[in-house]
Amino acid sequence: MSELDFSEDINEIRPAFQPIISGVTHEVVGYELFAQRNEAGDLRNLTEVLMHEDISAELKLEIKQQVLQQALRTVAKDKNLFLSIKRSAQELLIDDGQPLLDTLNHFGETGFPTNRIILEVNEEDIEYYFAELYHLLLYYKNCGIQLAIGQLGNKTATMDRIRQLEPNVLKINTKIIGNDDTKGYDDIMYSFEMLADRIGASLLFCNIEDDFLQYFAWKHGGRYYQGAYLGTAQPDISPMKMIGMAKITNQFVNRQKHLIEERMSWIIAWEKTLNELANQWKNLAGVEDFLVLLGEAFNEASFRIYICNSDGLQVSPNYYKADGQWLFEDLHKGSNWAFRPYFLENMMQMRTWNRAMLSKLYADIETRERIRTLSCSLNGDFFIFIDISYSFLYENESLLI
């Protein structure tokens, strides 16, 4: 579609609303705004068309402003709904961003406050136009507009810039989950979760197309959900046929509770084994013999075992498994691991509560595989560390959550 076609038919373009569901209330709390056009009786979503480079930013903005004005009249009827809109960097920089403010201020006078608008800017635009957009976006926020950074997950190099903007919403694109180039997506998601916690932002997961992606969004702390699985874009905001969020969330809750209980059962069983073996601990002179006993007990689950004292100093060699055989390696004996932020705190907790601990998933420095570490107090002065292999975790889903 050419720019001329758009210019001639701009009055035929209408708004479309895709529902955004709250993970708290399981109800529609807002809509994302799209543009659509009637073509021979069929409504065509213009999202991809409006991304074409042969259409000027000025015309794109004109179309989006017209659609926004129509949409505001519709959404204003329900004071509990917010409206999410997208703007590219080029569109925002036209006339120093004033067109959007003029429209919102006009409707603000009629009772539609700017804090019901969520302005989405893509992560890529933040990366390439940060200097030009920074002060404008902060000004928008001061005017009450909520800021969302969209298409997160496509790039990961803009964390610091996102942190500086302190957006209200981080919008995660679930389309890239499962792609060959997103093997470490759980690690990326963890970074976004931590960033959201630090800046007080909510996570919105978009492009949810099935129950797997809905579960992924839920278990990663999504506050808002959006996608064809939940509801498609429609020409109005009248009640839509949508999946029952309360029912499916209850299924997620039951599934997660089962997995957590199963994981705790693993820890309890491992702790019992360690307590039984602890009776055979004598002193450092017999540390290698003791490691052999541990290797026999954890042969299936572990690939590396070592012992540290209460100051974080490794007092044993590494006892590790290679090609199915357990071997000793002295390289790390004498290393001090107390520099790790969690290390001393975990040891003090184990000593105080006299319970084994299972770490969160993390990437092992040597193997680069995702592992977990089981740790337990030996006698208050020494601590056992048992690294659980990824292959064992993979075979037991409860250990992956």
Query: pLDDT per residue over 173-211, tens digit each?
Result: 888 775 544 456 777 788 889 999 999 999 999 999 999
- Is there a domain that residue 249 lies in? no
Q: What's the domain range around 13?
A: 3-239
pLDDT-flagged residues of the chain (< 50): 180-182
pLDDT at 182: 46
Given a contact cutoff of 8 angstroms between Cβ atoms, the answer to whether 105 and 71 are in contact is no
From 239, 270, 302, give the residue that closes a domain.
239
Query: Residue 267 carries which side chain, given as an amino acid letter?
Result: I
pLDDT of residue 177: 72
Whole-number pLDDT of residue 77:
84
Together in a domain, 46 and 195? yes
pLDDT of 181: 47
Identify whether 341 is part of a domain.
yes
- Are 69 and 129 found together in one domain? yes
Based on the fold, state whether residues 50 and 127 are members of the same structural domain: yes
The pLDDT assigned to 37 comes to: 87
Q: Within a domain: residue 10?
A: yes
What per-residue string of b and e applies to 211-250 under the rule 16 or more CB within 10 Å gives b?
A: eebbbbbbebebbbbbbebbbebbeebeeeeeeebeebbe
| Domain membership flag for residue 137 | yes
Residues 39 and 77 reside in one and the same domain:
yes
Which CATH number covers residue 370?
A: 3.30.450.20
Say yes or no: 218 and 79 in one domain: yes
- Give the Cα-Cα-Cα angle 220, 225, 230 (nearest 5 degrees): 130
Q: What's the N-to-C CA distance of the chain in angstroms?
A: 47
> Which amino acid is it at 289?
D
Q: How far apart are CA 286 and CA 316, in angstroms?
A: 10
* The predicted structure's pLDDT at residue 242: 65
Q: Is residue 108 part of a domain?
A: yes
Single out the residue in 239, 268, 300 at which a domain terminates.
239
Domain membership of residue 17 (yes or no) is yes
| Residue 380, CA distances (Å) to 16, 65, 268, 353 in order | 64, 67, 19, 11
> Is 248 a member of any domain?
no
Task: Please tell me whether residues 162 and 42 are part of one structural domain.
Answer: yes
Q: What is the pLDDT of residue 3?
A: 56
CATH number at residue 88: 3.20.20.450
Q: Is there a single domain that holds both residue 223 and residue 267?
A: no
Residue 316's nearest CA partner among 384, 388, 379 is 384
CA-wise closest residue to 26 among 196, 192, 253: 253
Residue with structure tokens 């981080």?
Answer: 170
* pLDDT attached to residue 180: 44
Give the per-residue pLDDT at 368: 86
Please give the Cα distance from 164 to 141 (Å, whole number): 13
- Asked whether residue 135 falls in the same domain as residue 220, the answer is yes
Residue type, 102: D
Q: Which of 204, 239, 274 is the last residue of a domain?
A: 239
Q: Is 376 inside any structural domain?
A: yes
Q: What is the pLDDT of residue 38?
A: 78
Q: What is the DSSP letter of 382?
A: E
Q: Are residues 223 and 263 in the same domain?
A: no
Q: Say yes or no: 193 and 280 in one domain.
A: no
Same domain flag for 264 and 220: no
pLDDT in tens, 199-246: 999 999 999 999 999 999 999 999 999 999 999 999 988 766 667 888
pTM of the model: 0.87
Q: What is the pLDDT of residue 108?
A: 81
**What gap in Å lies between CA 182 and CA 345, rounded to an integer?**
33
Residues 294, 318: one domain? yes
Domain count, the chain: 2
